[in-house]
């Protein structure tokens, strides 16, 4: 008879657990369309074409500086970034075409190709890598997604790269704001499962007809980058503007303006 | 005492043939000992010389954090003061300052990563031999284009970039204030240091240009010193006072892999030294043992005549002393002279140069050291003499009656 209590508890648990699980699944089904959110993440700042002016504040224990730049994109393939200020670096440009990348240095009037081995290096001393700028992997197509428990008001997913995808992370934990259905934060894990980078999205504003987080903070978590932070803020943005193909030509890169 | 000494010598001359053979055995052993140690020590000295004088120097002054994690920001504030301080020491031959940065080197559509070092050419030539391995052009001399800054690059890097003397190389990296450091250089020299790794990645520019390019003011990253000998650096380190947060490090601290590698190898060599010593000592014991057995009757007579026991012991031990001193002395003299001769000309082993810590050694210069040429042979002599005690003890213990009856 002394087992009666135990058996009762076990039975209750056996009944209650699937019920709880069902209840949870129901709420998820109701509110979340994983595919839709991944697509949104892919197209957050993308359109057929776009033009944006943004500032990049780079904070390190040794210096702090702010770059202002203009970014022009067309499709997923083409990106051109021109630094507007500070004066010393005005005109430094980065062109990305497909998987290739070049920097233009107005001071010496030369184009420097960024070799594949340098893709994980920092872009202009920030915590954003060349790869971050060039990468055209898709959250929707290149990752398998799994919903994971989240705090109230958030949906969280684990993005694990598919084997075919050329992605440097082993896992990207992404949380969306439940109401806005826009990204709130992302945590990047390296191949050894260490959390190496954090990204935060905030200042949701309506820009040229769509609501986007206008501020992205990148915080590296590795020991040698302690105290580093890069904050990108969109000052102005317009989508689906007229951008000629010539914008992404080598000749235009060399023009520096 | 002196009588027994001379008697010992006379006894040896009675069996001159055997004595000469024993002396030859002892001499060969001692010669081997001296020469093996000289070869090893010579190799260590060559390795140390290569590891230090090529580029790293025997001593360096760095910011305390720079060695473990080199970064643009951990700089030496007043390199001129530090250089003056080091050069004030009588055993420091020269000192120089350097700035180090990684970055991209680009020629037309070819880009590769590399290491840029800002140097003071006049001083660098006195500190590192690498500065004297310019195979073509000048070591940061004048450029054709008066506007351009000169650069010297490794011949491996030059091949990768497909550029030669007079060509333009763009450098792109990051300055100390976080801004982009970009500059156009004109190649004025190609370096062939013989160390492939360095030749494939290194580029040198003038220190003042590096200071401007990286917005470092008058700062530098490394002060490198050349000393008279690599083995007296600890002494200099104690004498020269370098203020924190800077640290004066010796080559042994900067390249522990070289120092421990040598130490490990020396330990291995110790086994060979021990075996040679044992062989030589047993040779002495053997000769004296035979001599004692042969002269059983003689010792019987001596004892019967009332010769004190210590006199017999002393006589035979003196025989051992003569053998050891003459034999070892001869061997050491031969070994030391040969070493001295080969030290001057070196032994070529260039057919198969061996690699050690990234350096390839093709010539060995055997070297006499106090350890190999004085201390080890001394131990050998003492050991041989100790080996004579046993036969001497046996001879002194003979029963005169039994001994006389034997023959």
Interface of A with B (CB under 8 A): 58, 60, 62-65, 86, 88-89, 92, 103, 105, 107-108, 110, 112-115, 117-118, 122, 124-125, 224
pLDDT at A14: 53
B372 in the same domain as B399: yes
Q: Is B69 on the interface with A (CB under 8 A)?
A: yes
Closest CA to B99 of B147, B65, B62: B62
Residue B174 with chain A: CB contacts under 8 Å: 122, 125
List of chain B residues with pLDDT < 50: none
Structural domain includes residue B234: no
Number of domains in chain B: 2
Q: Is B215 on the interface with A (CB under 8 A)?
A: no
Q: How far apart are CA B389 and CA B313, in angstroms?
A: 7
Quote the Cα angle for A242-A44-A176, to 5°: 170
> What dihedral do alpha carbons B249, B251, B255, B261 form, nearest 10°?
-140
Which of B212, B228, B244 is where one domain is finished?
B228
Query: How high does pLDDT run on average in chain B?
Result: 89
pLDDT at A26: 44
pLDDT digits (tens, 9 = 90+) for A112-130: 998 888 888 888 888 988 8
pLDDT at A27: 47
pLDDT at A105: 92
B63 in the same domain as B48: no
Q: Is the pLDDT of residue A70 over 50?
A: yes
Pairwise CB contact (< 8 Å): B184 & A110? yes
Structural domain includes residue A16: no
B393: tokens are 């003890």
Structural domain includes residue B250: no
Residue B112 with chain A: CB contacts under 8 Å: 115
pTM over 0.90: no
Structural domain includes residue B242: no
φ/ψ of residue A214, rounded to 5:
-90, 0
The secondary structure of B242-299 as a DSSP string is --TTEEEEEHHHH-HHHHHHHHHHHHHHHHHHHHHHHHHHHHHHHHHHHHHHHTHHHH
Q: A106 or B404: whose pLDDT is higher? A: A106
Structural domain includes residue A49: yes
B112 in the same domain as B12: no
The ipTM estimated for the assembled molecules is 0.74
Q: B216 or A3: whose pLDDT is higher? A: B216
B65 in the same domain as B24: no
> Are B202 and B114 a contacting pair, CB within 8 Å?
yes
The secondary structure of A106-159 as a DSSP string is TTTTEEEE--GGGTTSBSTTSSSBHHHHH----TTTSEEEEEE---TTEEEEEE
Output the domain CATH number for residue A155.
2.50.20.10
Structural domain includes residue B248: no
B81 in the same domain as B212: yes
Q: How far apart are CA A125 and CA A57, in angstroms?
A: 11
Residue of B nearest to A112 (CA): B106
* Closest partner CB to A92 (pick from B69, B112, B180): B180
B353 in the same domain as B291: yes
Q: How far apart are CA A64 and CA A228, in angstroms?
A: 9
pLDDT digits (tens, 9 = 90+) for A177-206: 988 889 999 999 998 989 999 999 999 999
Which of B210, B228, B246 is where one domain is finished?
B228
How many Å lie between the alpha carbon of A10 and the closest alpha carbon of chain B?
57
B217 in the same domain as B316: no
How many Å lie between the alpha carbon of A84 and the closest alpha carbon of chain B?
14
pLDDT at B359: 59
B37 in the same domain as B87: no
Structural domain includes residue A250: yes
Residue A224 with chain B: CB contacts under 8 Å: 69
Structural domain includes residue A191: yes
Closest CA to B223 of B46, B95, B67, B33: B95
Pairwise CB contact (< 8 Å): A105 & B172? yes
Which of B209, B228, B247 is where one domain is finished?
B228
Residue of B nearest to A63 (CA): B177
How many Å lie between the alpha carbon of A48 and the closest alpha carbon of chain B?
30
Structural domain includes residue A145: yes
Strands (DSSP E) along B108-179, which ranges? 110-119, 134-137, 149-154, 168-174
By residue range, what is the domain housing residue B277?
A: 2-52+259-405
By residue range, what is the domain housing residue A175?
A: 35-255
B201 in the same domain as B134: yes
Structural domain includes residue A221: yes
Pairwise CB contact (< 8 Å): A107 & B106? no
Structural domain includes residue B247: no
B195 in the same domain as B121: yes
B155 in the same domain as B32: no
pLDDT at B83: 95
Q: Do the bridges between strand B149-154 and strand B180-191 make them parallel or antiparallel, or are there none, so unpaired?
A: parallel
pLDDT at B356: 56
Q: Is the pLDDT of residue A25 over 50?
A: no
Residue of A86, A108, A120 to mutate when probing chain B, most B C-beta within 10 A: A108
> Are A213 and A182 a contacting pair, CB within 8 Å?
yes
pLDDT at B351: 64
Whose structure tokens read 């057929």?
A48
Number of domains in chain A: 1
Give Dmax (Cα) for chain B. 106
Structural domain includes residue B354: yes
pLDDT digits (tens, 9 = 90+) for B51-105: 888 899 999 999 988 888 888 888 899 999 999 999 999 999 999 999 999 999 9
Structural domain includes residue B399: yes
Structural domain includes residue B90: yes
Structural domain includes residue A186: yes
Residue of B nearest to A106 (CA): B182
* Closest partner CB to B170 (pick from A86, A108, A115): A108
B378 in the same domain as B360: yes
> Are A140 and A42 a contacting pair, CB within 8 Å?
yes
Closest CA to B40 of B374, B315, B371, B278: B371
Q: How far apart are CA A173 and CA A193, in angstroms?
A: 12
Q: Is B352 on the interface with A (CB under 8 A)?
A: no
């Amino acid at each position: 008879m002394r087992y009666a209590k135990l058996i009762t508890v076990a039975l209750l648990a056996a009944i209650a657990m699937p019920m709880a699980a069902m209840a949870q699944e129901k709420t998820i089904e109701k509110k979340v369309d994983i595919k839709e959110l991944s697509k949104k993440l892919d197209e957050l700042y993308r359109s057929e074409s776009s033009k944006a002016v943004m500032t990049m504040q780079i904070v390190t224990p040794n210096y702090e500086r702010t770059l202002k730049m203009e970014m022009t994109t067309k499709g997923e393939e083409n990106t051109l970034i021109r630094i507007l200020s500070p004066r010393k670096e005005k005109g430094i440009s980065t062109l990305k075409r497909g998987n290739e990348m070049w920097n233009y240095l107005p001071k010496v009037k030369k184009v420097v190709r960024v070799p594949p081995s340098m893709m994980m290096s920092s872009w202009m001393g920030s915590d954003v890598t060349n790869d971050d700028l060039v990468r055209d992997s898709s959250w929707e197509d290149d990752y398998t997604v799994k919903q994971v428990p989240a705090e109230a008001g958030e949906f969280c997913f684990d993005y694990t790269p598919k084997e075919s995808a050329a992605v440097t992370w082993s896992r990207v934990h992404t949380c969306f704001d439940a109401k806005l259905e826009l990204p709130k934060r992302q945590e990047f894990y390296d191949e050894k499962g260490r959390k190496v980078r954090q990204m935060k999205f905030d200042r949701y504003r309506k820009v040229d007809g769509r609501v986007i987080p206008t501020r992205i903070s990148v915080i590296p978590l590795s020991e040698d980058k302690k105290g580093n932070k890069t904050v990108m803020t969109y000052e102005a943005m317009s989508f689906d503007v007229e951008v000629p193909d010539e914008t992404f030509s080598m000749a235009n890169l060399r023009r520096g303006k | 005492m002196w009588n027994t000494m001379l008697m010992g010598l006379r006894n040896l001359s009675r069996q001159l043939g055997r004595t000469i053979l024993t002396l030859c055995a002892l001499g060969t052993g001692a010669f081997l000992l001296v020469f093996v140690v000289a070869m090893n020590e010579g190799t260590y000295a060559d390795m140390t010389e290569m590891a230090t004088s090529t580029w790293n120097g025997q001593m360096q002054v760095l910011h305390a954090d720079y060695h473990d994690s080199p970064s643009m920001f951990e700089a030496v504030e007043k390199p001129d003061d530090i250089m003056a301080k080091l050069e004030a020491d009588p055993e420091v031959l020269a000192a120089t300052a350097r700035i180090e940065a990684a970055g991209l080197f680009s020629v037309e559509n070819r880009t590769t990563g590399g290491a840029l070092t800002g140097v003071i050419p006049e001083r660098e030539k006195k500190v590192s031999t690498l500065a004297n391995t310019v195979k073509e052009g000048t070591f940061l001399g004048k450029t054709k284009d008066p506007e351009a800054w000169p650069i010297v690059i490794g011949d491996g890097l030059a091949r990768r970039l497909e550029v030669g003397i007079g060509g333009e190389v763009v450098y792109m990296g990051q300055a100390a204030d976080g801004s982009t450091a970009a500059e156009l250089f004109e190649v004025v020299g190609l370096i062939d240091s013989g160390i492939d790794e360095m030749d494939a990645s290194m580029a040198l520019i003038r220190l003042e240009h590096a200071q401007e390019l990286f917005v470092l003011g008058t700062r530098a990253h490394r002060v490198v010193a050349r000393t008279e000998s690599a083995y007296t650096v600890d002494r200099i380190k104690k004498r020269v006072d370098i203020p924190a947060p800077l640290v004066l490090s010796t080559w042994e601290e900067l390249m522990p892999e070289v120092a421990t590698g040598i130490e490990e190898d020396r330990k291995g060599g110790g086994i060979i030294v021990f075996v040679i010593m044992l062989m030589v000592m047993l040779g002495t014991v053997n000769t004296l043992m035979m001599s004692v057995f042969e002269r059983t009757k003689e010792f019987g007579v001596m004892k019967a005549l009332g010769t004190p026991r210590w006199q017999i012991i002393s006589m035979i031990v003196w025989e051992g002393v003569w053998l050891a001193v003459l034999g070892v002395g001869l061997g050491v003299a031969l070994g030391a002279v040969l070493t001295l001769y080969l030290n001057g000309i070196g032994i070529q082993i260039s057919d198969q140069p061996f690699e050690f810590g990234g350096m390839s050694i093709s010539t060995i210069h055997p070297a006499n050291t106090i350890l190999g040429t004085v201390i080890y042979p001394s131990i050998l002599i003492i050991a041989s003499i100790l080996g004579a005690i046993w036969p001497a003890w046996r001879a002194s213990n003979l029963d005169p009656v039994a001994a006389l009856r034997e023959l």
